[in-house]
Amino acid sequence: MNSRTLPQPCPDWALFLDFDGCVVDIAPTPEAVVVPDCLPSLLVALREALGGAVAIVSGRPIEQIDGFLGSAVSAVAGLHGLERRRADGGVVRPPLQRHDLRAVRALLAAFAAERPGVLVEDKTYTVALHYRLSPALRDDCRDVVTAALEHAPRGWQVVEGKSVLEIRPCGPTKGTAIEAFMGEAPFLGRTPVFCGDDITDEDGFRVVNARGGVSIRVGQGAATQAAAQVDTVGELLDWLKRVAAATRASG
């Protein structure tokens, strides 16, 4: 599929957007991402056009999303749905202690310290190992993360994304985050639309498809449950601009 398969904008949409690889290009390291100049104002325009029903659904912590986008979006799900800020500003976070992952952090930090290009990202409630700068070490990274999982609390898992492996609790996903948003104003009663690019976005695609919504993947990759596809972040942003303009005009 390509951008020509994207549906015509509808004013009753509830829009859910992944961050990295979706509305910003993936960077060599998490902190090196560059936010397009147009993005904050575009998100504000989309919120105004869709009655506030716009949320970021990301693997990053909410705090990081705020650091990149400021107040452009009120509703944010972070850490793949493990934490969530509602449109009214209320925040739901897990009752997890930082020391739950103390042994995991120590093992991964020791591994990364001896391998240039391998980075540990401490997200407080989860921990991720990035190997984008050292792709040849993918299998070694998988092995050490699998070993580290033995030191995690019961009910935790390894989730793989684009050049990253993350240890986090089972249960919460981007799909469960979207379901939670859809039960609340201003998302309630609308048709969900979710745009993502990675393996962890498949949970969101599945939920949106089951609700008769719109699922869009950014970029090429393995088989996906998304019903439509665009090739680049730039193409998606162009489409989102059309969504904002069309739905604002129809309103």
Residue found under tokens 């093992």: 107
Edge-to-edge order in the sheet of strand 164-169: 119-122, 127-130, 164-169, 156-161
Looking at residue 24, the DSSP 8-state letter turns out to be B
Spatial separation of the C-alpha atoms in residues 30 and 80, rounded to whole Å: 15
CB 14 within 8 A of CB 53: yes
b/e 32-43 (16+ beta carbons within 10 angstroms → b):
ebebeeebbebb
| Assigned token pair, 200 | 């962890």
Spatial separation of the C-alpha atoms in residues 86 and 115, rounded to whole Å: 39
Sequence-separated (6 or more) residues with CB below 8 Å from residue 152: 100, 101, 104, 167
Quickly list H helices, 186-228: 202-210
Q: Which of 12, 18, 66, 143 is catalytic?
A: 18
| 21 CA to centre of own chain | 9
Residue found under tokens 């609308």: 190
- 37 as an active site residue: the answer is no
* Active site members: 18
